[in-house]
Structure 1
């Protein structure tokens, strides 16, 4: 069954609007874990506009002491500072994204062919301690792209599902995007890569994604689940997302 990793960046962004300690990122992590989330994801950016470096250390301590079975997934562009943070915190999974520091959010995958040598060196450094490395992947990367991703030594790719999520009012285009995602996922598995997914997945579009793209190991969801948490509460939102994942599983 596909695991759910809850991205807490939106929680941190809300906290950062005021010089106050709430909502607590670690407190929200406890809630989503108790509700059944199998992972916690953060994407610390250099300007700390969302998750701060201190949050990363606090979450690592929380998971190690209170929930060692829950995976910690840290996303980011592999600068030397980011790699040093990974080496200090030692999460179970690192997801490398090709973000410019100023981007509002991730919006494209790696050019695996053009950046292959660069990524190979980085992946080798990060896997040295036994961590799993996932690479953010365009939905239409296809066989050539995922073969190049596999050649870097990565363990998984994370399918960028933003174009599919943008089709909330266009069912016909959503079917096209699902077909593209399914083809890339199939190629990734054939190449020996695990498959993660994330970006703009919601309670409404997750069941169709699960049905069309079987065998996904993990989804990382932040904005959608946080928006639903405003309505249902975070614990119930997590339970509903887990139910949506299981409906087609």
Structure 2
């Protein structure tokens, strides 16, 4: 079954708007893990507008002490402070994204050929720390060989264009086909495949039915929107059901 990692940035963003200790990022992370999420994702940006280095450490401690079979996925642009935090925390997975410091959210993948030397050096630095290294990628099958040559373990396919097709079934089908071809190309190159951005429950179900090769989805915004209505435990259960719906397709 495709694994679900819950992105905690939305909870931290809400907390930071008022400077109070609520919503409790660690408490909500605990609820997500108790409900069956395979891990938590955090993307501490340089301006600390949502998750901070302190949140990363607290969530690392939560997983280590209470959920040792779950994973912490640490996302970020590989600048010096981020790499130092990775070396300190030793997450199970590091996802490198090409975000500018003032970027609102991740909205494109790496240009693997143009940035190959830079990324190869960073990946070589991260590999001895013991975690997987994933690279954020557009759904371009021709780029997967270049990503594999850099030395990454996985790519995370950017699903924003697919998520933007809500209410547009023709566009959604087109984007699903792009993701399917890119995922197959990544697998053919020996890469694992993650996916994330703007994935709703029905969108996740449709994606994983069409592209069962995906190892992990990382979901934050849409999941927290649903949690306002259904609560965290029920929302995680709904996403887990969507992740499980592709099991027959994967087995076949």
TM range (shorter): over 0.9
Alpha-carbon distance in 2 for matches of 1:52, 1:129: 21
Contact 2:4/2:38, CA 8 A, preserved across alignment: yes
Aligned position for 2:250: none
Which consecutive unaligned segments of at least 5 residues does structure 1 have? none
Over aligned residues, Cα RMSD in angstroms? 0.6
Alpha-carbon distance in 1 for matches of 2:226, 2:104: 20
What's the offset of the Cα at 1:248?
2.1
Contact 2:158/2:197, CA 8 A, preserved across alignment: yes
1:81-230 equivalent positions in 2, closer than 5 A: 81-139=81-139, 141-143=140-142, 145-230=143-228
Alpha-carbon distance in 2 for matches of 1:248, 1:124: 34
How far does the alpha carbon of each residue in 1:78-137 deviate from its partner, in whole angstroms, 9 at most, with x for none?
001100000001000000000001011000000001001100000010111221000000
How far does the alpha carbon of each residue in 1:167-198 deviate from its partner, in whole angstroms, 9 at most, with x for none?
00110011000000000000000000000000
Alpha-carbon distance in 1 for matches of 2:101, 2:232: 29
Aligned position for 2:246: 248
Alpha-carbon distance in 2 for matches of 1:26, 1:173: 37
How far does the alpha carbon of each residue in 1:17-50 deviate from its partner, in whole angstroms, 9 at most, with x for none?
1121011110001000000000100000001001
- SS for the counterpart of 1:17 is helix
Alpha-carbon distance in 1 for matches of 2:215, 2:19: 37
Alpha-carbon distance in 1 for matches of 2:238, 2:206: 15
Alpha-carbon distance in 2 for matches of 1:58, 1:206: 29
Contact 2:94/2:132, CA 8 A, preserved across alignment: yes
Contact 2:6/2:39, CA 8 A, preserved across alignment: yes
Which consecutive unaligned segments of at least 5 residues does structure 2 have? 248-252
Alpha-carbon distance in 1 for matches of 2:196, 2:19: 30
- SS for the counterpart of 1:201 is coil
Contact 2:90/2:130, CA 8 A, preserved across alignment: no
Alpha-carbon distance in 1 for matches of 2:86, 2:58: 14
What's the offset of the Cα at 1:5?
0.2
- SS for the counterpart of 1:128 is helix
Aligned residues: 247
What's the offset of the Cα at 1:204?
2.1
